Structure 1
Amino acid sequence: MQDSEKTRLFEQTPIPRAVAQLAIPTILSALVMVLYNLADTYFVGMLNEPIENAAVTLAAPVLLAFNAVNNLFGVGGSSMMSRALGRKDYETVYRSSAFAFYCSIGAGLFFSLLCTVFKGPLLTLLGASTETAAATSGYLLWTVNFGAAPAILNVVMAYLVRSEGSALHASVGTMSGCLLNILLDPIFVLPWGLDMGAEGAGLATFISNCVACLYFFVLLYKKRGHTYVCVSPKKFSMEKQIVRGVCVVGIPASIQNLLNVTGMTILNNFTSAFGANAVAAMGITQKINMVPMNISMGLSQGIMPLISYNYASGNVKRMKGTLLFAVKLSLSFILTMSAIYFLAAGPLVQMFMDNQAIIDYGTRFLRGFCLGLPFLCVDFLAVGVFQATGLGGWAFLFAIMRKIVLEIPALYTLNKLFPLYGLAYAQLTAEVVLAVAAVVVLSRLFRKLQQQHPQKEN
């Protein structure tokens, strides 16, 4: 099957319009994802119970760990599909999507089993104390013990659908679950509803992820015969070419997220030494900081199919033009948001919890975090290019540099020099170095590609 409409999008549509068509739905989806992440914090915060809010913060690394699986099969599978589309190798497209689909289901079920069996050690590892353990366990029950498989599957399916240029459908699927979660949160969390606290927020998340999965199943059924996304068991195989093609991009992306989990766990453990108020404030500021961060990430993910397709087809000029357009767009937005966050840090934190101690902590945390956003934006776009072009080694190197070499040592050092408040500046320390490295590596990459495909530059 060859869809001429999708081919026109990748090959002929003007870059600004193509980026808009692919990235706007992805950015909107990222915005709704931010609202979804903020919803748990916001509605649990309305209880004015620091312990319940701390539970959501302490559980966050486990939910972030889902992204390791999402990236392994979502980023890896979608990159493989888009590159195969650029080569017009449709059989590889089908087999790649089937491999990613069934492996994500298996990984989700294994994740649930693992976290259920090792529940006690997991709570200790997350930094839960005797006062926060029960609330954290209740939140994890629905989001992880029961909810890992649907949480992972709906994100992976969105990646696969987006890889063929259907960014709008991918985003609608993701947003349907997120919006439902926002509607259900107050019903399950607040006293006028079921009054379940943090556990209620977890239950709302579980139901919402199941609904998002249902959307994608219905979509694929209706588009059968007109989509490159294949979930037929007959197309699933462990063929070396497929496994290697998915994993060469997916494994570095997965490791990157596992390192993010490690960094967040260390950050939460340092913060928990200063009490529940500090943990709650750190969680609130991290969620606020996710708004511009996720929008930037949404843009980098949105342009990935366009980058992948034109890389595989040798159209370096279109590939480079796409990246430069995205850089200008993303940096303009991020610089504006960083200025707003720095100037209005206190009122932003107060929106989530009207507790003076938490506002004081959160104001100083947010001002530290927001300074790193412009550099993080450049890093996201660079890693997106590495993933889109199958250069998993560079993505892996950047992940190691970000966490192991730079950020985690900075957490230890800055916390020792400036107890608690220094933690918020570790990300800035790492991202400045990585942004410079990203510019250097991308410049060399494009020079090399232009030498390999000079005929495509005219």
Structure 2
Amino acid sequence: MDQARSDLLGKTNVKKALIQLSIPATIAMIVTALYNLTDTIFVGQGSGDIAIGALSIANPVQMIVMAFGLMIGVGASSIFSRAYGRNDKVTMRRSVNTAIFMGVFFSVLIAVIGLIFLDDLLLFFGATDGPDGNLHYAEDYLFYILIGLVPFSLSVIFNNLARAEGRAKIAMISMVIGAGVNIILDPIFIFDWGLNMGVKGAAIATVIAKTASFIYVFLASISSQSKLNIDLKKLYEIDKKMVLEISTIGFSSFIRNALGAFLVIIINNIIKDISLTPEIHISIFGVVNRLVMFLLMPGFGLVQGLQPIVGYNFGAKLYHRLHEVIAYAMKLLSYYFVGALLFTMVLAKPLFMLFTSESNSLLLSEGPAALRVVALGFGVIGFQVILSSVYQAMGYPLRAFLVAASRQFILFIPILFILTHYFGIEGIWWTFFAADVIAGIGSMFVYRYEMKDLHDKINIPVQQLT
């Protein structure tokens, strides 16, 4: 199996290898986006337009838990993979045990803090109080989400560990199970022909789905076919020094995902301050956010398939293969994102209509217009997506972080305050476009420089590169 994987990464036609590795990754990424998308569609149809905003208000908590889960999963997977390579079973077992401990600890800590300060947190996240506000919807949703944080966090961690031991299909199936259960249970729990629980039902369905996903991947991880060496009687064997190492390795992943939660909080509060109808505009932002993520996920799946090819060939100094696969991935990514742009421009209103049964005129007029503006930046984001992923695969985490942060933080926040000051709510949607275009053009120049550097290395004998 190891030889076959080595041949796939280092000898198989890179275009064929990229497609082969990208398909399961793409399916997994689409499934991830389905979690939030289906919740939002069913909540909008079953509980009304204002209830959609409750999901956007509660979303930062889930994003932060995801950030911790990815930090722990990425860090533990790195330690596990190196120990696996030298057949160090003690370190392998302790890396998994430590990851489990960290996942449970952070999940319980966030849940306890969240439950104690539930209303205060939601108001800080941008919820609106009063009879027409979205606070009570957000309370109903987040209460149950907080209760189910442990299986949510552990499923993220174990999916990363499954990939680390070469069982990417296990991680994919786990995520498909979660999405499938969520899609089946959502209408049953939400609509009046079922349990008629509204937003509460959406949260409970999500918790059950996350739990089902975790149970599957956990059972696969303790099976005889797994190399994770989990011994339920020795789960107490953790390594305190490993906590710091796991956190350090996975910190860049944590920051990237935590920044997303930070931006959602800022945008929700800006909407709350400047909009005359903040509940509807927060709902519009929630729908736009989920649709954009769903539309972009196949592109992110492609670069996940690209990363192991880049890492292997960069380490082996096979620069001709490296140049070819990056160029091919860039071409595919550009085609896809342009296609997603055209798709959004044509179908923006029908997409929004999936989320509402009330035919709110403001939602159905401003919502599609906002989505079209945000989608205008799709044509250039491929360069920053490729660069960030390639740098990560090459072992340049700081460069990868700077590329990602340039759009999401460094550019976005100042542009957001400037444009909303002059253009109000519309300034939010144009901020997405402006940040994507500026970061995309900057990334394009860096991409061309890096590709030229790789091209120059192709003609240099390997001996001179060592």
The 10-residue stretch of structure 1 (377-386 or 54-63) with the greater mean CA deviation from structure 2: 377-386
Pair 83,420 (structure 1): closer, same or farther in 2 beyond 3 Å: farther
In the other structure, the counterpart of 2:191 is: 190
Contact 2:47-2:198 at 8 Å conserved across structures: no
The 10-residue stretch of structure 1 (435-444 or 371-380) with the greater mean CA deviation from structure 2: 435-444
Q: 1:18: Cα distance to partner?
A: 2.4
Please give the alpha-carbon distance, in whole angstroms, between the structure 2 residues aligned to 1:324 and 1:391: 19
In the other structure, the counterpart of 1:156 is: 157
Q: Secondary structure at the match of 1:222?
A: coil
Among candidates 453, 462, 466, match of residue 455 of structure 1: 462
Q: What letter is aligned with 1:168?
A: K
Contact 2:128-2:279 at 8 Å conserved across structures: no
Contact 2:122-2:139 at 8 Å conserved across structures: yes
Q: 1:11: Cα distance to partner?
A: 3.1
Please give the alpha-carbon distance, in whole angstroms, between the structure 1 residues aligned to 2:45 and 2:162: 37
Q: 1:234: Cα distance to partner?
A: 8.3
Q: 1:358: Cα distance to partner?
A: 0.6
Contact 1:72-1:250 at 8 Å conserved across structures: yes
- Aligned counterparts, 1:5-44, within 5 A: 5-44=4-43
Contact 2:158-2:218 at 8 Å conserved across structures: no
- Aligned counterparts, 1:313-328, within 5 A: 313-328=316-331
Q: 1:367: Cα distance to partner?
A: 0.8
The 10-residue stretch of structure 1 (433-442 or 57-66) with the greater mean CA deviation from structure 2: 433-442
In the other structure, the counterpart of 1:378 is: 383
Contact 1:83-1:308 at 8 Å conserved across structures: no
Supply the RMSD in Å over aligned alpha carbons. 2.9
TM-score by length of 1: 0.88
In the other structure, the counterpart of 2:291 is: 288
Instruction: List gaps (5 residues or longer) in structure 1.
Output: none
- Aligned counterparts, 1:113-124, within 5 A: 113-124=112-123
Among candidates 358, 362, 365, match of residue 360 of structure 1: 365
Pair 230,386 (structure 1): closer, same or farther in 2 beyond 3 Å: farther
Please give the alpha-carbon distance, in whole angstroms, between the structure 1 residues aligned to 2:83 and 2:309: 12
Pair 289,448 (structure 1): closer, same or farther in 2 beyond 3 Å: closer
Among candidates 300, 304, 308, match of residue 305 of structure 1: 308
| CA deviation string 1:241-292 (max 9, x = no partner) | x954x44542122112221111111112222333322222221122111222
- Aligned counterparts, 1:324-403, within 5 A: 324-353=327-356, 354-403=359-408
Q: Secondary structure at the match of 2:196?
A: coil
Contact 1:22-1:168 at 8 Å conserved across structures: no
Q: What letter is aligned with 2:164?
A: S
Contact 1:365-1:424 at 8 Å conserved across structures: yes
Pair 24,448 (structure 1): closer, same or farther in 2 beyond 3 Å: closer
- Aligned counterparts, 1:28-67, within 5 A: 28-47=27-46, 49-67=48-66
Please give the alpha-carbon distance, in whole angstroms, between the structure 1 residues aligned to 2:27 and 2:330: 18
Q: 1:155: Cα distance to partner?
A: 2.0
Contact 1:43-1:185 at 8 Å conserved across structures: yes
Instruction: List gaps (5 residues or longer) in structure 2.
Output: none
In the other structure, the counterpart of 2:266 is: 266
Please give the alpha-carbon distance, in whole angstroms, between the structure 2 residues aligned to 1:358 and 1:11: 51
Please give the alpha-carbon distance, in whole angstroms, between the structure 1 residues aligned to 2:9 and 2:266: 42
Please give the alpha-carbon distance, in whole angstroms, between the structure 2 residues aligned to 1:347 and 1:153: 36
- Aligned counterparts, 1:33-112, within 5 A: 33-47=32-46, 49-78=48-77, 88-91=85-88, 99-112=98-111
Please give the alpha-carbon distance, in whole angstroms, between the structure 2 residues aligned to 1:300 and 1:79: 19
Percent sequence identity is 27
Structure whose CA Rg is larger: 2
Please give the alpha-carbon distance, in whole angstroms, between the structure 2 residues aligned to 1:122 and 1:250: 26
Pair 142,312 (structure 1): closer, same or farther in 2 beyond 3 Å: farther
Please give the alpha-carbon distance, in whole angstroms, between the structure 2 residues aligned to 1:220 and 1:37: 26
Contact 1:79-1:388 at 8 Å conserved across structures: no
Contact 1:101-1:231 at 8 Å conserved across structures: no
Pair 404,126 (structure 1): closer, same or farther in 2 beyond 3 Å: same
Q: 1:140: Cα distance to partner?
A: 0.6
Pair 386,76 (structure 1): closer, same or farther in 2 beyond 3 Å: farther
Q: 1:325: Cα distance to partner?
A: 2.5
Please give the alpha-carbon distance, in whole angstroms, between the structure 2 residues aligned to 1:266 and 1:10: 42
Please give the alpha-carbon distance, in whole angstroms, between the structure 2 residues aligned to 1:7 and 1:164: 14
Pair 157,47 (structure 1): closer, same or farther in 2 beyond 3 Å: same
Q: What letter is aligned with 2:343?
A: I
